[in-house]
Chains A and B, each alone.
Chain A
Amino acid sequence: MSILVNKDTKVIVQGFTGGEGTFHSEQCMEYGTNIVGGVTPNKGGQEHLGKPVFNTVKEAVDATGATVSMVFVPPAFVADAVMEAADAGIELAVVITEGAPVKDMMYAKMYATKKGMKTIGPNCPGIITADECKIGIMPGNIFKKGKVGLISKSGTLTYEGANQVCNEGFGISTAVGIGGDPIIGLSYKQLLQMFQDDPETEAIVMIGEIGGDLEIQAAKFIKENITKPVVAFIAGQTAPKGKRMGHAGAIVSGSAGTAKEKMEALEAAGVKVVVSPAEIGKAVKEVLS
């Protein structure tokens, strides 16, 4: 077991034939991901990386039975791609692209929700179920199979956290990079519940950052619904107010969205909160022994 994706998941790639799409699709296929085709308008009928290319997501879904789409299209076309996937009956869109306008994502997410499609991202490393399926841009080799679920707003902190967990002798069931934009698809709450329900996952690592209140909502949710141990790190304790720290959503506005407030809320919910990401591995060992 795992969450959302496994070795049987059929994946298509939107923006399949572009530079990034090609490079990362190849890496995913090497990892073992079952990529069954891709979509690039006006290139339908061609073959790319040994897989069929379609003009539309609908055609791709009809021909391949794909349920998940990995999205690599340029920022200006992200919303269109997400809505097309939702319209074609895709169940999960994993949006890697960075720099999609917030307004576009606002509409795209509303439509996806209406159509019952889940979204991960945008601006995220993707999702990986260790040794089974990688849909995204993370280095697959650091994710060893195991029993820790990981949810993170940050790409490299996902790698850092997973690496430490594996170095401590544990492994990862599924890791999800949710992205740090102001509007994102799946968030901590939904993913925490999935990990709670996954028999393979025994502990959860949650990595957040300054800005917004998703971590605060997660803390409330954990208190009421999650019985598995949770380890958390919130990046940006030393970040100045009013400055955007790389991610579009990572900004403390006024006194809202600080790391301190999030860490306190999580601690109050019984979460093991670490002050430095260097402590994630050790903390996982602690809660699992």
Chain B
Amino acid sequence: MNIHEYQAKQIFAEYGVPTPRGLIAETVEEAVENAKELGGNIWVVKAQIHAGGRGLGGGVKLAKSLDEVKKYADEILGMTLVTHQTGPEGKLVQKVYIEEGADIKDELYLGVVLDRAKEMPVIMASTEGGMEIEKVAEETPEKIIKVAIDPTIGFQGFHGRELVFGLGITDKLEQRKFIDFASKLFKIYMDKDVELIEINPLIKTGSGDFLALDGKMGFDDSALFRHPDIEAMRDISEEDPDEREAAEYGLSYIALDGEIGCMVNGAGLAMGTMDTINYVGGTPANFLDVGGKANAETVAKGFEIILKNPNVKAIFVNIFGGIVRCDRIANGILEATKMVDVKVPVIVRLDGTNAPEAAEILKNANIDNVINATDLLDGAKKAVAAAKGEL
């Protein structure tokens, strides 16, 4: 689960990670009020969406008067912001964060993420703040300092020294401030079951202070049960409505841009099915894992969600029945076709326990658009042919 910048900064503030002062607004009037309350004569108006690259997309503006705050808030609120992370459809901006202007001397990058190879968290820091960090990693990997931290000892002084010397911070007071900053960020990472925490840019001000100018945080979904405060920050308007609806029924769904709807049990086989469709010359319309307990209700829901996509020309149901017997699944599929009006051809491949009985059930049901397939390859080929109207 991801949260907004302003929410990340609330967490930073709780832990004493310095940020510029700011206030969140949902209307233009609130935005102007916020600017007045913050005081000063320079403010930043920032669109709050779960995606990076907001500045380039026109979602971050520097305002030098209250009139400008009003003008920019009016422009940004309600706009559909398109960035390299939103996809071409963009995201609707419903909130703006009004922040006091900062005196930027240097822009750095600081992040904490799990190092899967080392199986421990790693702090990443770079002098190339404000740039896309993946680009830095690709073009100038030597400019990223990585310090892995064994969680059983936690953040120690030597970790901090590796960071500041690596970044070329020489002033002793600045070193202390940066190490304090990084250690607090690491504490947030551990305390809150964070998956990714990223500050880009982290700025050094003219007076040698470090401030989190941005904040991006994602959390381990499996650990949300012990963080009700984080769960409360969920903004469902940022999530794909179809993916969310599917999740409510225990289905894992991701829309793609092809023509063949897929319904599969198990995430690995679901990906393998998409790959096989591609292999035989078709294009998958979605990833859909119905989980280990495929029954009439979940299959019906799956059909419903798949068919919301107008590009779908055929559906490939690929189930490897293990503990759940195939004959039961076959009956479930038949029931589901009664619950949902499925107009496109449905290719069904059921393999595993009791597969011959299942094939018999489907055959006897004699439904025009339900086509039986003998194995994965056969099913994928039939689905591709059906999508082309050749079956």
Contacts and interface: CB of A to CB of B under 8 A. Distances in A.
B267 interface: yes
Contact of B116 (A27, A212, A242, A246): A212
Nearest to A158: B268
B377 A278 contact: yes
Nearest to A216: B117
Contacts of B275: 235-238, 259, 275-277
Contacts of B321: 139
Contact of A100 (B137, B222, B280): B222
Given A76-B226, A238-B278, A277-B276, A157 B269 contact: yes
A261 interface: no
Interface in A210-249: 210, 212-214, 217, 233, 235-240, 242-243, 245-249
A99 interface: yes
Given A76-B225, A245-B287, A275-B279, A155 B377 contact: no
Contacts of B278: 237-238
Contact of B287 (A107, A137, A207, A239): A239
A250 B152 CA distance: 27
Interface string A100-117: 111110110110000000
Interface string A153-196: 11111011001000000000000000010110000000000000
Given A100-B222, A107-B151, A142 B352 contact: yes
A258 interface: no
Contact of B265 (A27, A156, A183): A156
B254 A101 contact: no
Interface size class of B (residues with CB under 8 A): 35 or more
Q: Is the interface of B mostly helix, strand, loop or mixed?
A: mixed
B272 A157 contact: yes
A86 to B, nearest CB: 15
B173 to A, nearest CB: 33
Contact of B269 (A137, A160, A254, A259): A160
A209 interface: yes
B229 to A, nearest CB: 16
Interface in B261-282: 264-272, 274-280
A154 B265 CA distance: 11
Nearest to B191: A103
Contacts of B274: 236, 238-239
A289 interface: no
Contacts of A238: 256, 271, 274-275, 277-278, 284
A153 B380 CA distance: 22
Given A101-B193, A103-B223, A278 B267 contact: no
A53 B289 CA distance: 36
Nearest to A249: B116
A93 to B, nearest CB: 16
A138 B276 contact: no
Given A157-B272, A236-B275, A238-B271, 10 more contacts: A76-B226, A141-B353, A154-B268, A160-B351, A180-B268, A243-B254, A245-B270, A245-B271, A246-B267, A246-B270
Q: Which 8 A-B pairs have the closest CB atoms?
A: A154-B268, A246-B267, A156-B266, A101-B223, A235-B271, A156-B269, A278-B377, A139-B322
27 contacts: A99-B222, A100-B222, A103-B220, A106-B114, A106-B119, A137-B322, A153-B268, A154-B266, A156-B266, A156-B268, A180-B267, A209-B271, A233-B272, A235-B268, A235-B269, A238-B271, A238-B284, A239-B287, A246-B252, A249-B116, A250-B271, A254-B134, A255-B134, A276-B275, A276-B280, A276-B377, A277-B275
Interface of B: 85, 114, 116-117, 119-120, 134, 137-138, 151-152, 190, 193, 195, 220-223, 225-226, 252, 254, 256, 264-272, 274-280, 284, 287, 289, 292, 320-323, 351-353, 375-377, 380
